[in-house]
Chain A
Amino acid sequence: MEGAIATTGSRIRNNWQCYLQAAYLFQQLMSSVTQLPILAVPDFGKPFVVETDASSKGLGAVLLQEGKPLAFWSQALTERGQNKSVYERELMAVVQAVQKWRHYLMGTHFIIVTDQKSLKFLTEQRLLTEEQFKWVSKLIGYDFEIKYRPGKENTAADALSRKPMFLTMTVLKFNEWENWDIEVQKDSRLQAIMQELLVDPNTNVGYSMRGGKLYYKGKLVLPKHFSRIPAIMNELHSSPTGGHSGYFRTFKRVAGVLYWEGMRKDIKEFVMQWSKPKNWPEWLSWAEFWFNTNYSASTKMSPFKALYGQDPPLLLKGTTIPSKIEQVNQLQEQRDEILKELRNNLCKAQDQNRLQANKHRRDVVFQEEEDERSDKWGSFLEQVTKSSQATYSENEHKDTLKDELVSNKVKERNPHRLSNGDDSSNRTFSEGTEVEETATARVSEGDDSSDRKFVSDNTTGNNSGKQQHHSEERNTRMVQRWADIRPSLAVIEEMLSSRIKKRKKMNSEEISANDDHHPSIEIYTNETLGDGINGSRAENASEDQELFSQWKELETLVQGGVPKDLRGEVWQAFIGVKTRRVERYYEDLLAQETNSGESEEQGVPSAAFGKWKKQIEKDIPRTFPGHPALDENGRNSLRRLLLAYARHNPSVGYCQAMNFFAGLLLLLMPEENAFWTFVGLIDEYFEGCYTEQMIESQVDQLVFEELMHERFPRLVNHLDYLGVEVAWISGPWFLSIFVNIIPWDSVLRVWDVLLFEGNRVMLFRTALALMELYGPALVTTKDAGDAITLLQSLTGSTFDSSQLVFTACMGYLAVTEAKLKELREKHRPSVLGVIEERSRKGRVWKDSKLASKLYSFKHDRGSLVEERKNAGGSDTLADKNAQSESHSSELDELLNSLNVDSELNSLPNLEDQVVWLKVELCRLLEEKRSAVLRAEELETALMEMVKEDNRLQLNARVEQLEQLVAELKQALHEKKEEEAAMLQVLIRLEQDQKITEDARRRAEQDLAAHKYEVHLLQEKYEKATQSIAEMEKRVVMAESMLEATLQYESGQSKAISSPRAGRGQSPRSENPSRKVGLLSFGLGWRDRNKGKPNAEESSEGLHDNGSPRKESSNHEHDR
């Protein structure tokens, strides 16, 4: 009951009723706080201030602007809430107030004033509990600062937080209606009653007087024809707070606080006028309040009353009561307008609101859903059973026989369940979220128990405690831990278990399955066609068709969720527990455990097993701590299961996370059933995931990263930018199969599908769905820490399990086993590479032992195992290197074949043999593994030798090359020398050239000098000729003077002796001839130089003796 109250209380999330309620409250009680006893209208240009406070009883907040209140809000705390620390309550107040007024606060900077000093550090994430964590995550996206104000100043909010104490007073607000007083006075009947009561309070049964007002059964009495009655009913019925409840609910609501005669009829008439409103979403914001304050047929009182023990305060719109002050009226009008506008906005968010409303009314919806589920499954099972009865009749018959046989056992099933004595164990499982289910679950509990055939047995609880000391009692108790699932589910089991048989076949024949989206049905149809198990229907193709459609129907049902009371058994059917089970196998594993102290010759290496055992012991109290089912007995079951599994599959042994899976299964089914389910899950669905190296888990992470890149490149980019690796987040998701990651209900829904599908596809789809749902929020984060914190808190509040599962299944149909297989093949080598590298590094230290080990391997196989055991403790990491997959699959193979054998022939000694064979097998596998290791070591050694070989070759090559280099160097040297020689020659040539040049130059100079000399000589010659010419002239002159002298002399002589002239002539003629001789000589020289003229002259001279003047003038002329 407490749980129900707590959750209902937490769901009171409504603004306006609280807002209005607070307004009235404030008018009455808080006028001292502000002068204007009416709320102001928000101005989005001014900063908002949120003042919050929390008392031990409730939360309160005021929205202020410039010191004026805009809105008030308060809320009573549930008992759970009251137990919270002051800090937590204050935080709740802040978060809820901010959420109430998000319409105002979103997108603006606002201030939160609190009297809790530590809240100042809110933004620095000083978080205390997971719950607070969720609270704070709701503040992400708001822009605010927190201011601290000591309690006394924070009066408004402080008083509001104590408001629940005044709740009754809110009813008194009707006193304010002046009309009421007047009209009551007018109403004669009421006046009469009041008069009578004043005289004797007992006169009118049910009526009473308080403070001058008349009450009927504690409700304020109104005059029958009170003018305000239509207004009241309108408010209560038609307004969002009324929510069109219909007659009965409206009546109950009104009757909670008011009374007037004929009230029932009035309300009925009023309601009749209204048909259901078409536009529901407009009222969705009020739906919750409506739900919480309305009369609920199931609980016979309104949830509000259930919670607070009194009727909810009535809220009337401001306009209902006209005020004398004009300003007040105006403000009220404005406020109503805002209210209207907000309603319109809410309208826009129809769908979201619808979802939201669904979420808030989950206990109702949950119950409905659960009923629907049960119906659907019921009819499906019926139908399938019918259709199969014809063909299965034989099997069916056997089944029923078997059922009869085991019915005695069934009565004593599941010790832990019995020890609790009720079913709430698996619902109170995860804190907080399941509590609400409990309330509704209880309702159906009556039906459950009869259906489940669970009968309590008080003795089992005691027995399991003593179990370890009384091994002789074991066998009887082991039987009690097993129960067949109900026969009606056998059909499903039959449908799906065939895939287990098929898988065995695949394993043994190593046929690669043609996996696609519906691997199981493929396998199934193949199976039915090919296998002889159900020979009767093998030939009938149409039946296969029918089975296929049945299978599809089942898939849809599974995605819609398995009903709670069927879940445990349906899961077993999915995983094929019945087919897997080998009688006494589990008991024998447990027996090994009890005997292990005495006999050491069991196959499993004791060192490793001891380690697992220790780890299991450590982890058992840390598996769902505090869960009521995990008491002493529950823990013992858990321990037995885990130890048995470790013995069953030593390649896995025990891995953290398995404790949660085993715990989960133990909550849903008896111990041995849980064991076989667990075996199927870990051996097959999660093969290779939880082994020592966790290879498949690592591969899956790489595959998921690739899918993320493909699907959400933007988100991945953002995460990259923040420095967040997807695997940091998805790693824990995958490893825990979402246990402790998402809410319990969602975990179960995911597991429903996962177990049904028979592979890990759902893991990927769910993770992708979560990323799809929360990716948009992640993209807004600005640092790695915030991103991861946000995602953690968001995934932690994935309460809408249906949304999650449908998003996963419908949105990611393309993510199939075939695709995953392909991607895994692609990524596996890199994981193996890393592991190999690491193990090789680890092996370096052991190399010294290599030779001896190799030797011993050849000669003494036994010693190897021992050595391995010795080494086991220190270097397990390297040693247990990938307890190879082939290992486990072979193990399975053998086991499976054994299963078949033992089913056919369940002789006890054969079973012992089986166990012994298994032990042998384990030992052989150990040896095989050692051999593999040795082979690897040899390979390494070989590699090194090859490397050595290479080195020699390389050396030779180096030498060759060096030689070549030397040769080349020499050649280079020679070339250089040649070059030098050439240079010298060149220089010499140049020098020669220079010399020649010089010579040439000198020659030229000489030439010039010669020329000059020639020139000079010529000049001299000319001078000489000149002077000769002058001389000649002088000669001529001298001749002419001589002639003249001669003529003068001759003239003188004639004059003296004329006769003598003749005579004198002759001697004288001799003289001139001599003179002519002289002259001719001169003329002759001239002639030689001047040729003819001179000769002529001379001849003339000779001829012209008679005319010397003529001759001299000729000479002068020549010149």
Chain B
Amino acid sequence: MGCGSSLPDRDSRQLGRPSENGGQDAKNLRVKLVLLGDSGVGKSCIVLRFVRGQFDPTSKVTVGASFLSQTIALQDSTTVKFEIWDTAGQERYAALAPLYYRGAAVAVIVYDITSPESFSKAQFWVKELQKHGSPDIVMALVGNKADLLEKREVAVQDGTEYAEKNGMFFIETSAKTADNINELFEEIAKRLPRPAVS
């Protein structure tokens, strides 16, 4: 029993340390997130919906990239500040994409469920990131425009399967109806690697 009495002691010290020293970092995360995907799939709309709670069906073309940030609070009382880089969708802007996805902790790859082309473009981005992105990047595959069910051309299963194969998180969203937008970012926040607890 002598052994037993000393164990909890050690445990409490181990548990106590990170919350005292690394508390600031463990509780308030800052994360660079980059949105990639074909032109017109709704990257900017997703960000706008998430950050400003708005949906503008006639948003402007994104030239180069645009930046917004948003902080969310999780249930475990940690906060995550997303520094979101929304990139231009046209193929040739891929030349500039490394500038933005370099050093990003999260990549959200978006396609349009009504466009198989955008789905294959998403797969291109996944490969690109696997090759050139940072190795521990958290990737999410997002099928946007989920409100346009009747025009769906990419099955949910396709998305799920592809995401599973590549170790990604998958979700279908609608920036228009705000469906799953917050869930997307919350889920990403949960999946972020935390500063080690023990």
Chain A positions within 8 Å of B, measured between CB atoms, are 124-129, 611, 615, 618-619, 621-626, 655-657, 659-660, 690-694, 697-698, 701, 723, 725, 727-728, 731-736, 739-740, 783-786, 788-789, 792, 835, 841, 876-877
Query: Does A694 lie within 8 Å of B59, measured CB to CB?
Result: no
Task: Bits for B82-96, please: 1 = Cβ < 8 Å to A, else 0.
Answer: 010100111111111
B5-13, B16-24, B61-69, B183-191 - the one binding chain A: B61-69
Interface centre among B63, B69, B71, B95, by most chain A C-beta atoms within 10 angstroms, is: B63
Enumerate chain A residues within 8 angstroms of B60, measured Cβ to Cβ: 622-625, 740
Query: Does B58 lie within 8 Å of A626, measured CB to CB?
Result: yes
A128-B99 CB under 8 A given contacts A659-B61, A792-B67:
no
Query: Does B65 lie within 8 Å of A732, measured CB to CB?
Result: yes
Enumerate chain B residues within 8 angstroms of A725, measured Cβ to Cβ: 99
A125-B70 CB under 8 A given contacts A615-B90, A693-B95, A731-B96:
yes
Query: In whole angstroms, what is the CA distance A732 to B87 when docked?
Result: 10
A656-B54 CB under 8 A given contacts A125-B69, A728-B99:
no
Query: In whole angstroms, what is the CA distance A86 to B36 when docked?
Result: 34
List, sorted by A's number, 18 A–B pairs whose CB atoms are closer than 8 Å. Answer: A126-B70, A128-B52, A615-B90, A622-B58, A622-B59, A625-B58, A656-B39, A656-B89, A656-B93, A694-B92, A694-B95, A723-B103, A731-B65, A734-B64, A784-B32, A785-B69, A786-B69, A835-B95
Query: In whole angstroms, what is the CA distance A739 to B64 when docked?
Result: 12
Smallest Cβ distance from A130 to chain B, in angstroms? 9
Task: Tell me, yes or no, whether B151 is within 8 Å of chain A by CB.
Answer: no
Query: In whole angstroms, what is the CA distance A284 to B56 when docked?
Result: 41
Smallest Cβ distance from B143 to chain A, in angstroms? 18
Enumerate chain A residues within 8 angstroms of B194, measured Cβ to Cβ: none
Query: Does A129 lie within 8 Å of B67, measured CB to CB?
Result: no
Task: Tell me, yes or no, whether B40 is within 8 Å of chain A by CB.
Answer: yes
Query: Does A784 lie within 8 Å of B83, measured CB to CB?
Result: yes
Task: Tell me, yes or no, whether B27 is within 8 Å of chain A by CB.
Answer: no
Enumerate chain A residues within 8 angstroms of B91, measured Cβ to Cβ: 611, 876-877
Query: Does A618 lie within 8 Å of B40, measured CB to CB?
Result: yes
Smallest Cβ distance from A540 to chain B, in angstroms? 47
Query: In whole angstroms, what is the CA distance A733 to B64 when docked?
Result: 8
Given contacts A622-B59, A727-B99, 20 further A-B contacts (CB under 8 A): A128-B53, A128-B54, A129-B54, A611-B91, A625-B58, A656-B88, A656-B89, A656-B93, A694-B96, A725-B99, A728-B67, A728-B99, A733-B64, A740-B60, A784-B30, A785-B67, A788-B67, A789-B67, A841-B131, A877-B94
Task: Bits for B25-52, please: 1 = Cβ < 8 Å to A, else 0.
Answer: 0000010100000011000000000011
Of chain B, the residue at the smallest CB distance from A831 is B95
Smallest Cβ distance from A522 to chain B, in angstroms? 33
Enumerate chain A residues within 8 angstroms of B90, measured Cβ to Cβ: 615, 655-656
Smallest Cβ distance from A682 to chain B, in angstroms? 14
Query: Does A693 lie within 8 Å of B92, measured CB to CB?
Result: yes
Of chain B, the residue at the smallest CB distance from A694 is B95
Task: Tell me, yes or no, whether B100 is within 8 Å of chain A by CB.
Answer: yes
Query: Does B39 lie within 8 Å of A127, measured CB to CB?
Result: no
Enumerate chain B residues within 8 angstroms of A785, measured Cβ to Cβ: 30, 67, 69, 81, 83
The list of the 9 closest CB pairs from A to B, nearest first, reads A732-B64, A625-B58, A785-B69, A736-B63, A785-B83, A657-B63, A735-B64, A124-B71, A656-B90
Smallest Cβ distance from B66 to chain A, in angstroms? 7
Query: Does A127 lie within 8 Å of B52, measured CB to CB?
Result: yes
Enumerate chain A residues within 8 angstroms of B56, measured Cβ to Cβ: 625
Contact check: which of A125, A618, A656, A841 meets B71 at CB < 8 Å? Answer: A125
Enumerate chain B residues within 8 angstroms of A876, measured Cβ to Cβ: 91
Of chain B, the residue at the smallest CB distance from A876 is B91
Query: In whole angstroms, what is the CA distance A619 to B65 when docked?
Result: 16
Of chain A, the residue at the smallest CB distance from B71 is A124
Query: Does B67 lie within 8 Å of A615, measured CB to CB?
Result: no
Of chain B, the residue at the smallest CB distance from A736 is B63
A731-B99 CB under 8 A given contacts A625-B60, A656-B90:
yes
Query: Does B96 lie within 8 Å of A698, measured CB to CB?
Result: yes
Query: In whole angstroms, what is the CA distance A623 to B58 when docked?
Result: 9
A728-B61 CB under 8 A given contacts A615-B39, A656-B90, A792-B67:
no
Query: Does B52 lie within 8 Å of A619, measured CB to CB?
Result: no
Query: In whole angstroms, what is the CA distance A247 to B69 when docked?
Result: 54
Smallest Cβ distance from B182 to chain A, in angstroms? 12
Query: Does A697 lie within 8 Å of B96, measured CB to CB?
Result: yes
Of chain B, the residue at the smallest CB distance from A619 is B61
Enumerate chain A residues within 8 angstroms of B65, measured Cβ to Cβ: 728, 731-732
A655-B58 CB under 8 A given contacts A731-B99, A736-B64, A785-B81:
no
Enumerate chain A residues within 8 angstroms of B51, measured Cβ to Cβ: 127
Query: In whole angstroms, what is the CA distance A625 to B58 when docked?
Result: 6
Smallest Cβ distance from A457 to chain B, in angstroms? 29
Query: Does B67 lie within 8 Å of A655, measured CB to CB?
Result: no
Enumerate chain B residues within 8 angstroms of A657, measured Cβ to Cβ: 61, 63-64
Smallest Cβ distance from B179 to chain A, in angstroms? 19
Query: Does B92 lie within 8 Å of A692, measured CB to CB?
Result: yes
Query: Does A735 lie within 8 Å of B52, measured CB to CB?
Result: no
Query: In whole angstroms, what is the CA distance A841 to B92 when docked?
Result: 17
Query: Does A622 lie within 8 Å of B61, measured CB to CB?
Result: yes
